[in-house]
Amino acid sequence: MTPRLTLLAAAGVGLVAVLGFGVGRLSTTPPRPTTPAPQSARHILYWYDPMIPMERHAGPGKSSMNMTLIPKYADETPGAAGVQIDPARTQNLGVRLATVQRGALPSGVSATGVIAFNERDVAVVQAKAAGFVQRVYSRAPGDNLAAGAPLADLLVPEWGGAQGEYLAVKRTGDPALIQASRQRLALLGMPPSLIEGVEMTGHVRNIVTIFTPTGGVIKTLGVRIGMSVMAGQTLAEVNGLSRVWLNASIPEAMAGQIRPGESVAVTLAAYPGETFNGRVTAILPQTDAASHTLTARIDLPNPGGRLKPGMFASAQFGGVSQAALLVPSEAVIRTGRRSLVMIAQPGGRYAPAEVKIGREGSGKTEVLAGLSEGEKVVASGQFLIESEASLSGIQARPLASRSATAPTKTPALYESVGRVEQISPASVTLSHQPVPAIGWPAMTMTFKLTDPALARGVKVGDRVAFGFDQPAVGPTVRWLTKATAP
């Protein structure tokens, strides 16, 4: 081969190689760019800031605290799920559970109060005529006197003159004048005993002794030796001690449980182990604005005067125990706006529930609505769990979703149309159309009748519309009527 042919052959081989490389570049599929694996399709409910769980946003961005928002997914919706806490952490928190159950809650109320004088047993001693105090009997306020104890001797000049006139008239022997003169002595305020003494002795008695009309304690004493007194002037006040009052302070929230006439058991620190029985005579109409308490007035017998006004006492009001749905009082979280409890759910989950509470007593609280019997509530450590639930944006179960009385649910009612195949007093056999709500195909079956009157006026072969439910005894017709043929 000549050198020229050799050069041409080499050039051809090079051209073929270049063309092959170019074709290869054009025909090869380019490599796919590396992309992260797509996340599972999770529905986002809203975006929120964990520091402000109640503030919700429609999309990503910044919160009012300039924090990056994070999504809240549908599969994280609280509802029945609640917040889940690791069992080890639960033990560290000291979580203790209690069962919601029915029990007897005493309707009695405990209160404290102070023994006071019986203001209905007060005697006022007054001067019946003007005079001068000749003598006092060493009395002082606070002295406990028996009935008829002397207080002071008064010189009454007016009585002396009237008594002298009466004795002069009496010597005349005129019955009419004697009677008139004697009546004048009574009108001047002389007690009958004094008049009778003048008649018997025939001497004027213008110094009279003032006695206490009843026994008791001298509350006020206004007589001193040598002083002058006017007619109607109060000399002393004597308060009886045969019965005393206990003024007990009742919390405003419990005032509705107290009734006049109710029996009360009273104990005093002065007489440990001893109980005094009294009765509520009145609930005073005014409330103490500072302590938000009402005063219950309790009447107590006081034989021997052992109960002294001013003594501190405790009162236990009577009452019949009433059945109620109860939870431990410590399980209730009071926010000021509502009351919550933490419900323990399966799988170590906890969720808040709003409750309506009633009376309290013996460490138990009555639940009027919001819980059902048998549910578990957190009785210890609930504040930490509630805080975590709030940070997680978990909403409390609304009050309307549970009732303390646990009303019976109304059975679901299904409707269909069919043909009457057979009738008896207690049942009806129908060839009915499908019932999609419960997945029934068209078929012929026998239904029970709640009332034989439902089938009145219906005969075999009639087309009827009917409604039924499915109690434990089987499908039962609740209403039935003739239907127009299609």
CATH of the domain at 217: 2.40.50.100
Q: Distance between CA 54 and CA 253 in Å, rounded?
A: 33
Q: Is 70 exceeded by the pLDDT of residue 84?
A: no
pLDDT for residue 58? 80
What are the tens digits of pLDDT across the range 202-232? Answer: 888 888 888 998 889 999 999 998 899 998 8
pLDDT for residue 107? 61
Q: Comparing C-alpha atoms, which of 213, 240, 216, 236 is closest to residue 224?
A: 236
Confirm whether 201 is domain-assigned.
yes
Q: Examine the fold and report which residue of 378, 401, 424 is the final residue of a domain before the chain moves on.
A: 401
Q: Is 90 exceeded by the pLDDT of residue 311?
A: yes
Q: Is 50 exceeded by the pLDDT of residue 151?
A: yes
CATH code at 453?
2.40.50.320
Tell me, yes or no, whether 97 and 169 share the same domain: no
Q: Is 90 exceeded by the pLDDT of residue 78?
A: no
C-alpha 170: how far from its chain's center? Answer: 78
pLDDT for residue 236? 93
Confirm whether 28 is domain-assigned.
no
Tell me the pLDDT band of 400, cut-offs 50, 70 and 90: low
145 and 216 in contact (C-beta within 8 Å)?
yes
What are the tens digits of pLDDT across the range 49-61? Answer: 766 666 778 888 8
pLDDT for residue 281? 92
Rounded alpha-carbon distances, angstroms, from residue 15 to 18, 20, 22, 269 = 5, 9, 11, 122
Rounded alpha-carbon distances, angstroms, from residue 47 to 334, 389, 393 = 29, 17, 11
Percent of the chain with pLDDT over 70: 78
Q: Distance between CA 329 and CA 142 in Å, rounded?
A: 47
The predicted model gives 32-51 an average pLDDT of 58
Tell me, yes or no, whether 91 and 72 share the same domain: no
Quickly tell me which residue has 């679901």 as its tokens.
Answer: 412
End-to-end CA distance of the chain: 104
Roughly what angle, to the nearest 10 degrees, separates helices 192-201 and 157-172? 50
Q: Is 50 exceeded by the pLDDT of residue 77?
A: no
Tell me, yes or no, whether 70 and 93 share the same domain: no
Q: Comparing C-alpha atoms, which of 230, 225, 217, 54 is closest to residue 126?
A: 230
Confirm whether 270 is domain-assigned.
no
pLDDT for residue 411? 60
What are the tens digits of pLDDT across the range 259-299? Answer: 888 889 999 999 998 999 999 999 998 888 888 889 999 99
Q: Comparing C-alpha atoms, which of 205, 34, 234, 216 is closest to residue 134?
A: 205
Phi-psi domain of 384 (left: phi exceeds 0; alpha: psi -120 through 50; beta: other): alpha
pLDDT for residue 379? 84
CA torsion 330→335→336→338, rounded to 10°?
-90
Q: Examine the fold and report which residue of 179, 210, 236 is the final residue of a domain before the chain moves on.
A: 236
Roughly what angle, to the nearest 10 degrees, separates helices 175-187 and 192-201? 140
CATH code at 335?
2.40.420.20
- Torsion over CA: 198, 202, 206, 207 (sign): negative
For the ranges 54-63, 92-101, 379-388, 457-466, the maximum mean pLDDT occurs at 457-466
Tell me, yes or no, whether 457 and 386 share the same domain: no
Tell me the pLDDT band of 394, cut-offs 50, 70 and 90: low
- Name the amino acid, one letter, at 52: I
Which residue did the predictor score with more confidence, 348 or 137? 137
What are the tens digits of pLDDT across the range 234-254? Answer: 999 999 999 999 999 988 877
Confirm whether 156 is domain-assigned.
yes
Domain residues for the domain of 339 are 87-104+322-401
Quickly tell me which residue has 């961005």 as its tokens.
Answer: 61
Tell me the pLDDT band of 4, cut-offs 50, 70 and 90: very low
Q: Distance between CA 404 and CA 346 in Å, rounded?
A: 21
Which residue did the predictor score with more confidence, 250 or 73? 250
Tell me the pLDDT band of 361, cut-offs 50, 70 and 90: confident
Tell me, yes or no, whether 342 and 424 share the same domain: no
Tell me, yes or no, whether 59 and 97 share the same domain: no
Confirm whether 409 is domain-assigned.
no
Phi-psi domain of 470 (left: phi exceeds 0; alpha: psi -120 through 50; beta: other): beta
φ and ψ of 439, to 5 deg = 75, 25
Q: Examine the fold and report which residue of 401, 428, 447 is the final residue of a domain before the chain moves on.
A: 401
* Residue 477 CA neighbour count, 13 Å, CB half: 28
Confirm whether 295 is domain-assigned.
no
- Name the amino acid, one letter, at 187: L
Q: Distance between CA 144 and CA 149 in Å, rounded?
A: 10
Q: Is 60 exceeded by the pLDDT of residue 392?
A: no
Neighbours of 218 (CB within 10 A): 20
Tell me, yes or no, whether 385 and 440 share the same domain: no
Rounded alpha-carbon distances, angstroms, from residue 5 to 13, 15, 17, 283 = 13, 15, 19, 135
By three-state DSSP, how is residue 201 classified? helix
Q: Distance between CA 395 and CA 390 in Å, rounded?
A: 8
Tell me, yes or no, whether 333 and 375 share the same domain: yes
Count of structural domains, the chain: 4
Structure tokens at 399: 């009050």
Tell me, yes or no, whether 71 and 91 share the same domain: no
Confirm whether 14 is domain-assigned.
no
Pairing mode of beta strands 476-482, 443-449 = parallel
Structure tokens at 278: 């009294």
Q: Comparing C-alpha atoms, which of 346, 394, 399, 404 is closest to residue 105?
A: 404
Tell me the pLDDT band of 161, cut-offs 50, 70 and 90: confident
Report, in this order, helix, strand and coil percent for the chain, each rounded to 5. Answer: 20, 40, 40
pLDDT for residue 239? 93
Q: Is 90 exceeded by the pLDDT of residue 402?
A: no
The predicted model gives 64-74 an average pLDDT of 75
Q: Distance between CA 95 and CA 87 in Å, rounded?
A: 10
Q: Distance between CA 377 and CA 358 in Å, rounded?
A: 17
Order of all β-strands in the sheet with 150-155: 207-211, 150-155, 131-136, 228-229
pLDDT for residue 227? 92
Percent of the chain with pLDDT over 90: 20
Tell me, yes or no, whether 133 and 232 share the same domain: yes
Q: Is 50 exceeded by the pLDDT of residue 32?
A: no
Q: Share the mean pLDDT of the chain.
A: 79
Quickly tell me which residue has 């026998």 as its tokens.
Answer: 446
Tell me, yes or no, whether 96 and 156 share the same domain: no
pLDDT for residue 204? 87
Neighbours of 472 (CB within 10 A): 5
Q: Comparing C-alpha atoms, which of 85, 95, 45, 81 is closest to residue 394?
A: 81
Confirm whether 99 is domain-assigned.
yes
DSSP characters over 90-127: HHHHT-EEEE-EEEEE----EEEEEEEE-TTSEEEEE-
Rounded alpha-carbon distances, angstroms, from residue 276 to 112, 280, 303 = 14, 13, 11
Structure tokens at 243: 């019965």
Tell me, yes or no, whether 184 and 226 share the same domain: yes
